[in-house]
A and B are shown apart, each in its own frame.
Chain A
Amino acid sequence: MSLTADVIVIGGGVIGSSITYYLSKRGKRVIQLERDYFNSGASGSCDTMISPNTKEPNEHLQLALYSVELYKTLSSELGRDIEYEQKGSLLLIENQEELNIMEGIVKKQNSLGLNSRLISAEETLRLQPGLNRDAIVGASYSEVDADVNPFCLNLAFADRAAALGAQTFTHEGVQEILLHNGAVAGVKTNRNTYYAPIVINAAGAWAPIVGKMVGLNIPIKPRRGQTVITEAVPPFVHKLVNNARYIVGKHHPELLKDDHSAKARMGIAISLVQSRKGNVEFGNSREFVGYDTSNTYECLRELIKNATRIIPGLKDLNIIRTMGGVRPHSPDSKPLIGFVQGVPGFFLAAGHEGDGICLSPVTGKLVSDLIVDGKTDVPAAAGFDPNRFNLF
């Protein structure tokens, strides 16, 4: 079988499905290919947070704020409840040094339009009871932060796109990208051949493997995260809760370079959130271990130690499972979104690291703007141009 379309999207995660939806909405004929099943990569092993508060105060934050606006009407637009809920997020500050850094970050966030603020330990406890008063000196708080069900989000995009005429094929891995006179002409999978003048690589952590098929050296690396999930309990976690240290370490790794603890080495954070059904998810790590998604005892130990120190009530809960996955890490923590110079028709939309859920809608919007109109009203879009890296 062979099929022809305007655009082929490689990837069945929240980035690929969002792109498929927004392009279909603009009238493009789209074929979406996923080598395994929907949410089989990072989109199925992540937390649920839409958190501008954790973004670096630059173009990244502007992109996140645009996405937040799109999220507010997404359930009604897609005709399906994606469990979007604005909860607000806390970044817990544990000492004076972190407080000093967070003062600067909050100021920059405010100047870019995020209404975050520093609050006292007492106010932090009012917003999220149960925190260990002795463990924190305060927090930064952002009201617009929200959460969403990533399974529902991805399937809502894919199903809506299909209703608009997109063809989505799961369990079909791309094996070859067809070129004609150096330009993209289609792809060959384990089953079929598909033709289109534009191919979008939205394969997340696996984007470098797809890039190799056209001779590209995409500087994305898989970065593992591990997490813990408890049984459903009555409402207990009211906010999205993160460690400020995690953000400080994410944006200023040099500040943590003298910290050689297991916690710092594995990038341990609390990343605490409760789903609508009541399951509490906590713990997060950042480890470079290739594509290994297994859970390790050493990491889980640090996750639990960190989390129960900050919110001791977690000790009373029962764990039902642990989870591990790999995020697509980009060298400057910003995703790579745009046509690749040198391979006409080859478009890259990957490298969102831990921000894929947050940036899913805006990425789809941005990609469809660039492909349909050749320009976009998404602010600071040029900052994500993949050609900022040497891709050859």
Chain B
Amino acid sequence: MVPNEDEIYVCRCEEVTVGDIKRAIAAGARSVRDIKVRTNAGMGVCQGMTCRKNIERMLREAKIDLDVCCTHQRFTVRLLNVNDLTAITNEEGE
């Protein structure tokens, strides 16, 4: 039993709650990125891996048509060490 749904964390990395997302939608947000700007949800270390689907679901439940079925995600997709990437890119460059 959760006493208050609004206090549940949707984005654990940035500590954004259901209530925060609801307020963003009420303020006019209509996409995951829009919500990101207003709440920072999805900007943490996992880059929306946990929260993206749940936020998309909340948008649909709020009767907002998403332009796309899933939100575009940028490289690196997973956490990547700079040094490891340097090693790969050096090989490519030579």
Residues in chain A within 8 A of chain B (CB atoms): 37-40, 44, 151, 154-155, 170-171, 230-232, 295, 297, 300-301, 304-305, 308, 314-324
A-B contact pairs, 13 of them (CB 8 A): A40-B33, A40-B34, A44-B37, A295-B74, A297-B92, A301-B93, A308-B82, A315-B83, A317-B81, A318-B79, A319-B76, A320-B76, A321-B47
Question: Is the pair A300, B82 in contact by a Cβ cutoff of 8 Å?
Answer: no
Beyond A231-B79, A319-B80, 10 additional contacts (C-beta under 8 Å) are: A38-B34, A39-B37, A44-B33, A151-B37, A231-B45, A300-B75, A304-B89, A315-B81, A320-B79, A322-B75
A154 to B34, CA, bound (A): 13
The residues of B with any CB-CB pair to A shorter than 8 Å are 28-31, 33-34, 37-38, 40, 44-45, 47, 74-76, 79-83, 85-86, 89, 92-93
Chain B residues near A155 (CB-CB < 8 A): 37-38
User: When chains A and B are docked, how far (Å) is the Cα of A304 from the Cα of B85?
Assistant: 8
CB distance from B80 to the nearest CB of A (A): 5
Residues of B within 8 A of A297 (CB): 89, 92
Partner of A295, one of B38, B75, B82, B85: B75
Task: Assess A37 versus B74: contact at CB under 8 Å? Given A170-B28, A304-B86.
Answer: no
Inter-chain contact B34/A301, CB cutoff 8 Å: no
Q: With A39-B37, A155-B38, A171-B30 known to touch, is A321 a contact of B83 (CB < 8 Å)?
A: no
Q: Assess whether A305 is in contact with B86, with CB atoms less than 8 Å apart.
A: yes
CB distance from B52 to the nearest CB of A (A): 13
* A301-B82 contact given A37-B34, A171-B30, A320-B47, CB 8 Å threshold: no
A305 touches B89 (CB 8 A): yes
Given A39-B37, A300-B75, verify A319-B30 contact (CB < 8 Å): no
User: A321–B74 contact, CB under 8 A?
Assistant: yes
Which residue in chain A gives the minimum CB-CB distance to B73?
A321
Query: Chain A CB within 10 Å — which of B31, B47, B82, B93 has the most?
Result: B82
A372 to B90, CA, bound (A): 57
Given the complex, which residues of B lie within 8 Å of A151, measured CB to CB? 37-38, 40
Given contacts A37-B30, A39-B37, A40-B33, contact A319 B85 (CB under 8 A): yes
Specify the main secondary structure of chain A where it touches its partner.
Answer: mixed
CB-defined contacts of A38 to chain B, threshold 8 Å = 34, 37-38
In whole angstroms, what is the CA distance A319 to B93 when docked?
20
Greatest chain B CB density within 10 A among A44, A300, A304, A320 is at: A320
Once the chains bind, are B81 and A318 in contact (CB under 8 Å)? yes
Q: Determine how close the nearest CB of chain A comes to the CB of B33; give it in whole angstroms.
A: 7
A13 to chain B, nearest CB (A): 11
Closest to A313 in B: B82
Question: Would A322 and B86 be within 8 Å (CB), given that A37-B29, A37-B33, A39-B37 are in contact?
Answer: no
Query: In the complex, what residue of chain A is closest to B89 when comparing beta carbons?
Result: A301
List A contacts of B93 (CB < 8 A). 301, 305
Tell me which residues across on chain A come within 8 A of B29, comparing CB atoms. Answer: 37
Kindly report which residue of chain A lies nearest to residue B34, judged by CB atoms: A37
The docked-state distance in angstroms from the alpha carbon of A219 to that of B33 is 30
Closest beta carbon of chain B to A123's beta carbon, Å: 27
**Chain A residues positioned under 8 Å from B85 (CB to CB):** 300, 304, 319
**B35 CB, nearest partner CB in chain A, Å:** 9
Q: Chain A: which residue is nearest B79 at the CB level?
A: A318
The complex places the Cα of A308 from the Cα of B74 at a distance, in Å, of 22
Chain A residues with CB under 8 Å of B40's CB are 151
CB distance from B20 to the nearest CB of A (A): 14
In angstroms, Cα B65 to Cα A339, docked, is 38
Nearest-neighbour CB distance to chain A for B53, whole angstroms, equals: 18
* B89 surroundings in chain A (CB, below 8 A): 297, 300-301, 304-305
Q: Which residues of A contact B47 (CB under 8 A)?
A: 320-321
Q: List the B residue with the shortest CB-CB distance to A162.
A: B27
The smallest beta-carbon distance between A319 and chain B, in angstroms, is 5
Bound Cα distance from A37 to B47, whole angstroms: 20
Contact A321 B75 (CB under 8 A): yes
Residues on A with beta carbons closer than 8 Å to the beta carbon of B82: 230, 304, 308, 314-319
Measured between C-beta atoms, what is the minimum distance from A82 to chain B in Å? 14
Closest beta carbon of chain B to A75's beta carbon, Å: 18
Output the least CB separation between A281 and chain B (Å).
12
Q: Are A320 and B45 in contact (CB under 8 A)?
A: yes
Do the beta carbons of B30 and A308 come within 8 Å of each other?
Answer: no
- A322 vs B47: C-alpha distance when bound (angstroms): 11
Q: How far is the CA of A189 from the CA of B69 in the complex (A)?
A: 25
Collect the chain B residues with CB atoms within 8 Å of residue A230's CB.
82
